[in-house]
Amino acid sequence: MRRKLVVGNWKMHGNRAANAELLAALLAARPYMADVAVCVPALFLHETAATLAGSDLRWGAQDVSEHEQGAYTGEISAAMLAECGCRYAIVGHSERRAYHGESDALVARKAQAALARGVTPIVCVGETLAERDGGQTEAVVKRQLSAVIHQLTHCAAEMVVAYEPVWAIGTGRTATPEQAQQVHAVLRAQLQAATGRGATMTILYGGSVKADNAATLFAQPDIDGGLIGGASLKAADFIAICRAAT
């Protein structure tokens, strides 16, 4: 039986006062039946770690460098994230693929860099609306995942995968539970074929998950929780989504 996981992706939102309030509310609402994590802007990682240390809430970053260390101005290494107690690093979010030109190969190297330091990569895959309309959904997500599987080789079963259809992110338009389940089943079969451990791996859904649609999405057999953007910034909404994951 896979335990559900709900991860908040704060993106480039927050400030010290608002973060403190949000984290206090998340702590006060425990216990959850699922694992719960927040992926915060890097500048807030230390404070988040200090606030959540000793609790069962987890934290992580929204990106990681492919490099170990060196002259890479502006980059943050997996070792630095690990030192900050990060459990997770999101890699390959569609916003980074679109706005920073991240390729499948780069995403795969980032996932490897994270794992090498004991930080679990949350590998995002997902098709654009044009790709869905063109009947390419399966081919696109399989290609994106395949790059990571081949880079991680024997460690591939250690990653978390997040299916995030690009057309559903921040748009208010959610994939139907059936649409999401269909893609999750494809991804799980691919993971099973590659690692032999697909049945135990965590595959999250992300894309306009809200308090009122979370339970139905999370009830699908291959959906193991969610990667939550906008709704993770409001304590009541995020807590309701975490409670929907049982």
Residues tagged active-site: 93, 164
By C-beta, is 60 or 229 nearer to ligand PEP?
229
Question: From the CB of 154, what's the least distance to ligand PEP, in Å?
Answer: 28
User: Do 177 and 220 meet the contact criterion of CB atoms below 8 Å apart?
Assistant: yes
By C-beta, is 190 or 208 nearer to ligand PEP?
208
Question: From the CB of 41, what's the least distance to ligand PEP, in Å?
Answer: 13
By C-beta, is 90 or 108 nearer to ligand PEP?
90
Distance of CA 31 to the CA centre of its chain: 21
Question: From the CB of 208, what's the least distance to ligand PEP, in Å?
Answer: 4
Nearest to 242 by CA among 27, 92, 53, 64: 27
Question: From the CB of 44, what's the least distance to ligand PEP, in Å?
Answer: 17
121, β-bridge pairs: 89
228, β-bridge pairs: 8
By C-beta, is 6 or 194 nearer to ligand PEP?
6
Burial of 180 from C-beta contacts in 10 A (0-12 / 13-18 / 19+) = buried
User: Do 212 and 243 meet the contact criterion of CB atoms below 8 Å apart?
Assistant: no
Beta carbons within 8 Å of 118's beta carbon, 6+ residues apart:
82
Neighbours of 96 (CB within 10 A): 18
Instruction: Report the number of secondary-structure helices (H) and strands (E) in the chain.
Output: 10, 8
Cis, bond preceding 41 (omega within 30 deg of 0):
no
Question: From the CB of 209, what's the least distance to ligand PEP, in Å?
Answer: 5
User: Do 165 and 123 meet the contact criterion of CB atoms below 8 Å apart?
Assistant: no
By C-beta, is 153 or 171 nearer to ligand PEP?
171
- Report the interface residues with ligand PEP, using CB under 6 A: 9, 11, 164, 169-170, 206-209, 227-231
Burial of 216 from C-beta contacts in 10 A (0-12 / 13-18 / 19+) = middle
Residue number closest to ligand PEP, CB atom: 229
